[in-house]
Amino acid sequence: MTNSTILNLSLLQTSVEAMATVAFALSGLLEAARKRLDVVGVFVVAGLAAFGGGTLRDILLDRRPLFWVEHAAWLWFLSALCVGAMLTLRSQHFELTERAMLWPDAIGLGLFSASGTRIALDMQTPAIVAVLMGVITAVFGGVLRDIVCNEIPSAFRDHRPYAVCAFIGSWILVLAHTMDVTNWIGLLAAAGTTIVLRGLALWSGYSLPAWNPEPSSHK
């Protein structure tokens, strides 16, 4: 792999994580606003949504420095985003903003899952571990956000395919890696698969079946 190719791939992965970080930070801001949290709560919830999945991935992989430590400018960006949202967002904006965020969130899901899987593959982890790292990167920021806000994580309860989409997309990247497909093509194919699957789920209203065990009968 030439130096130019490595540079382009690194730039692509950085761009992927940047776009996904913005999408998830906004989802954290909306949840904090709905819960009427104070300024500290807003910063914490937005930060967990934006950085939580990647941080958990890096801890599990023993990867240092953490993404937001290596790129500390993101902390300033997050601070500006939180302050700007608190000054401009009002209750009448929430419903419109939440609907509008479904698609950026789907994009963030695809980008983070692909990026997390790529990072794990680069560290020569087994395929199933790399896939799980992709899912954790994409999903667990939102899980941590909801837990802190005293909610059952939406990824577990709304029955719309979410983590499943990231899981399938991550396997696409593993398949591309196994077949020696050019790295950036595999990255885009994986992210695109996740985004398309999530988009189809949103468009069609498809939901996963709920576990509804029959009540036990007592004689």
Instruction: Check whether 120 has a pLDDT greater than 60.
Output: yes
Q: Where are the alpha helices (DSSP H) in 90-182?
A: 91-122, 127-148, 154-157, 163-178
Instruction: Check whether 96 has a pLDDT greater than 60.
Output: no
Instruction: Check whether 94 has a pLDDT greater than 70.
Output: no
Q: Does the residue 217 lie in any domain?
A: no
Q: Does the residue 209 lie in any domain?
A: no
The pTM for the full model equals 0.81
Q: Does the residue 141 lie in any domain?
A: yes
Instruction: Check whether 6 has a pLDDT greater than 50.
Output: no
* 8-12, 25-29, 31-35: segment of lowest average pLDDT: 8-12
User: Which residues, 6 or more positions from 211, have their beta carbon under 8 angstroms from its beta carbon?
Assistant: none
Q: Does the residue 116 lie in any domain?
A: yes
Q: Does the residue 216 lie in any domain?
A: no
Distances, alpha carbon 29 to alpha carbons 32, 35, 89, 91, 199, in Å? 5, 10, 10, 13, 22
Q: Does the residue 78 lie in any domain?
A: yes
Q: Does the residue 93 lie in any domain?
A: no
Give mean pLDDT, residues 33-41: 85
Return the number of other C-beta atoms located less than 10 Å from residue 119's C-beta: 22
CA distance 185 to 70: 26
Instruction: Check whether 200 has a pLDDT greater than 60.
Output: yes
Q: Does the residue 188 lie in any domain?
A: yes
User: Domain containing 47: what range?
Assistant: 3-83+98-204
Looking at the structure of the chain, the number of domains it has is 1
* 115-124, 133-142, 154-163: segment of lowest average pLDDT: 154-163
Mean residue pLDDT of the chain comes to 83
